Structure 1
Amino acid sequence: MVAPEGLAAFKNALDKEQFFYWVAIHNVEQHMAEEHYPELKTTVDDENLVKLRMRRDIESNFEDYDFTMYSEYARMARWMWTMQRRYPHLAKLLHLGTTHQERSIQGMKIGSPVNATNKRIVYIDGGMHAREWPSMHLALYFINELLTKYGKDPQITNYLDKLNFYIIPCVNPDGYEFSRSSEVRLTRMWRKNMAPKNCNGSAYGTVRCCEGVDLNRNFDFHWGGRWGERNPCSDVFQGSSPFSEPESRAIRDLLLSPDVKGKVDAFVTLHTHGQLFIHSYNHKRKTYPDDIEDLKRVGQQAIDAMESLQGTKYQLGSAIDLLGKFGPSTGGASDWAKSIGIKYSYGIELPPEQTTWFAFIMKPHLLIPAAEETWLGVKVIIDAVLALNHL
């Protein structure tokens, strides 16, 4: 990214060295503003943004959720509360923990009847990384599909009759709200949670202090090994210990709670970007679970289902196999889930492709198409859980 005042000199330098280049985004600030508010097609005006947000908040009655726009976390939580009231026999709002900034980590239990505790479970989350806005809104879309189509769609009705679903749309509400607070790139591209500053000495005798922990490096799976990131200023800082963060503990405590432990057959964590369907393990090359062939089979069926809608191409594999240049990753959520016995544990990296550097900024009008195709893949996993249990 180049500042406007330095653009001419930068182009001259590239031309002098005979580098091939193209301009991917001509105005990053405007591009980010349009992600918040697609109506804004002119230069960003902070006062106009504030007025638009206020008008939307006043006009909204919180009764329905607009899946074609990005919303603040409070609106997501209010919508889930509303859905619980609309469907009390199917939905239960869950408070799973409290963040560093005192926000409630909220999710939903969905099933028919919702109070049943003897059924197998599918777990889904989004928003583990702050900047990955589409993942949260897709998880909300899945909640909407399950609740609004029960009793109307035979497949959905069967799902809720035979299974329980636990869905956490936004694991990292602090980080999400911080990433929404400004169009400045370092803010919008924030990945971690908002943990207080950690300090760590470097090999050169300097002390580095920065906020935040990468929640997807904070689970107790090969945490702190050779590939664990100890620099608190890194985007992938692993934290001070496994489950040092309230957000990762919220997931752990839910999955190991008496009503849930040992009953979860699918764990799906949504991320952006890259069009990747990721299975375990990711801490070491060519290291797989004993049931890897079954994981690949179901994963490929899910990819085929997603591709059937719009032709979107996904790759299947472990993250270390698909993204080898980044090295192994330890402390991952889906790997930890697999290690505690959850059969179908996957991470789904949503569109667009990995080669698009600005792909975290998905335009709002693409949210529903992405949700529709991803839901097809998730339903393949749900069907696999039913088949696994002969349901």
Structure 2
Amino acid sequence: MPEIHFDRFYRYDDLTRLLHTFAQEYPNLAKIQSIGKSHEGRDVWLLTLTNFQTGPDTEKPALWVDGNIHASEVTASTANLYFLNSLLTRYGQDQAVTEALDTRAIYLCPRVNPDGAEWALADRPKFIRSSTRPYPYDEEPVDGLVGNEDMDGDGRILQMRIPDPNGAWKACPEDARLMVRRDPVESGGQYYRILPEGLIKNYDGVTISISRSKQGLDLNRNFPVNWRQEVDQHGAGPYPLSEPETQNLADFIVNHPNIGNAITFHTMSGVLLRPYDDR
């Protein structure tokens, strides 16, 4: 049995070993393959889950499942791993699971965006929206705050408080680690402005602008359906499927017309979104 823990997040090498171990332990129910490379050259792993003794996956109705297309949404990978573990360990014991794998196929891609996840899980993490490829420009920011980066090396990306007599925040009287709003008419105390943790370039002592992220892509907006240009939808990329991660998914899905349903895991909003629910 693969040793799997749901109280931690797996970095790429550990995730790769774990997925291959599942495929080795359950050869009649799981096969692993790379469906392509990421921007930085990592394999994007996919597991095909079905009872291969009852027929090939391509001849069965199939479900597509994926997660972690956004860099820091690593809990989506964990949800995929939980689903994977539940299916394989309950086969032969749970009637619904057994029937599902005997008669259906499941294509599971637990980490669509391995590059972004590695940045998020690094010893000194950096938060980006999605892909690590610079877009729409590749110049380094000249002025202002380059935020969402672990500057003190504690493994977390938090917020910074900067003393400012005109700041809108002050330390909480009960716990100085917390910040509370300053009353608009209050004066004479120690006040702060709050900014995302990051590096301020060319600070003039007064003005701090927030620089746009150099990594401005949103892979979730790079698919053909409802694609719009950068002026209308930030991060959508220069054209649909311009990025290897989205191209990997599109190629596999188009070449598997037996896929009739799909679930993609995210970690925002706590809602269930269905196709065309934006209309």
TM-score higher than 0.5? yes
Q: Please show how residues 154-169 of structure 1 align to structure 2 within 5 Å.
A: 154-169=95-110
Structure label with greater radius of gyration: 2
Shift of 1:116: 3.5
| 1:133 alignment partner, one of 65, 74, 97 | 74
Shift of 1:225: 5.3
Q: Residue 8 of structure 2 aligns with which residue?
A: 69
The question of 1:214 aligning with 2:218 is answered yes
Q: Residue 241 of structure 1 aligns with which residue?
A: 239
| 1:228 alignment partner, one of 205, 208, 232 | 232
Cα distance between partner residues in 1 of 2:273 and 2:57:
31
Q: Please show how residues 272-287 of structure 1 align to structure 2 within 5 Å.
A: 272-281=267-276, 287=279
Shift of 1:190: 1.9
Q: Residue 81 of structure 1 aligns with which residue?
A: 20
Q: Give the aligned residue type for 1:109.
A: T
Cα distance between partner residues in 1 of 2:124 and 2:213:
24
Structure 1 residues 243 and 153 mapped into 2: Cα distance closer, same or farther (>3 Å)? same
- Is the contact between residue 126 and residue 270 of structure 1 (CA under 8 Å) also seen in structure 2? yes
Cα distance between partner residues in 1 of 2:3 and 2:216:
33
The question of 1:268 aligning with 2:266 is answered no
Shift of 1:281: 1.9
Cα distance between partner residues in 2 of 1:228 and 1:89:
47
- Is the contact between residue 134 and residue 217 of structure 2 (CA under 8 Å) also seen in structure 1? no
Q: Residue 171 of structure 1 aligns with which residue?
A: 112
Q: Residue 89 of structure 2 aligns with which residue?
A: 148
Q: Residue 193 of structure 1 aligns with which residue?
A: 131
Cα distance between partner residues in 2 of 1:157 and 1:150:
5
Q: Residue 292 of structure 1 aligns with which residue?
A: none
- Is the contact between residue 127 and residue 169 of structure 1 (CA under 8 Å) also seen in structure 2? yes
Cα distance between partner residues in 2 of 1:152 and 1:209:
49
Gaps of 5+ in 1: 1-61, 201-207, 230-235, 288-391
The question of 1:94 aligning with 2:38 is answered no
Structure 1 residues 198 and 85 mapped into 2: Cα distance closer, same or farther (>3 Å)? same
Q: Please show how residues 1-391 of structure 1 align to structure 2 within 5 Å.
A: 63-113=2-52, 115-182=56-123, 187=126, 189-199=127-137, 210-224=214-228, 228-229=232-233, 236-257=234-255, 260-261=256-257, 263-281=258-276, 287=279
Cα distance between partner residues in 2 of 1:70 and 1:134:
7
Shift of 1:63: 4.1
* RMSD of aligned Cα (Å): 2.3
TM-score with structure 1 setting the length: 0.49
Q: Give the aligned residue type for 1:164.
A: A
Larger helix fraction of residues: 1
Deviations 1:303-360 (A, max 9, x none): xxxxxxxxxxxxxxxxxxxxxxxxxxxxxxxxxxxxxxxxxxxxxxxxxxxxxxxxxx
Shift of 1:157: 0.2
- Is the contact between residue 34 and residue 45 of structure 2 (CA under 8 Å) also seen in structure 1? yes
Cα distance between partner residues in 2 of 1:281 and 1:76:
33
Shift of 1:273: 2.1
Q: Give the aligned residue type for 1:221.
A: V
TM-score with structure 2 setting the length: 0.68
Shift of 1:78: 0.9
Shift of 1:154: 0.9
- Is the contact between residue 193 and residue 213 of structure 1 (CA under 8 Å) also seen in structure 2? yes
| Paired-residue identity, % | 30
Q: What SS does structure 1 have at the residue aligned with 2:267? A: strand
Gaps of 5+ in 2: 139-211
Shift of 1:222: 2.1
- Is the contact between residue 32 and residue 45 of structure 2 (CA under 8 Å) also seen in structure 1? yes
Larger strand fraction of residues: 2
Shift of 1:100: 1.3
Cα distance between partner residues in 1 of 2:99 and 2:216:
41
Structure 1 residues 74 and 226 mapped into 2: Cα distance closer, same or farther (>3 Å)? closer
Deviations 1:80-138 (A, max 9, x none): 10111111111010201101111000010000117332100011101010111111111
Q: What SS does structure 2 have at the residue aligned with 1:175? A: helix
Q: Give the aligned residue type for 1:165.
A: I
Shift of 1:74: 1.4
Shift of 1:197: 4.4
Q: What SS does structure 1 have at the residue aligned with 2:106? A: strand
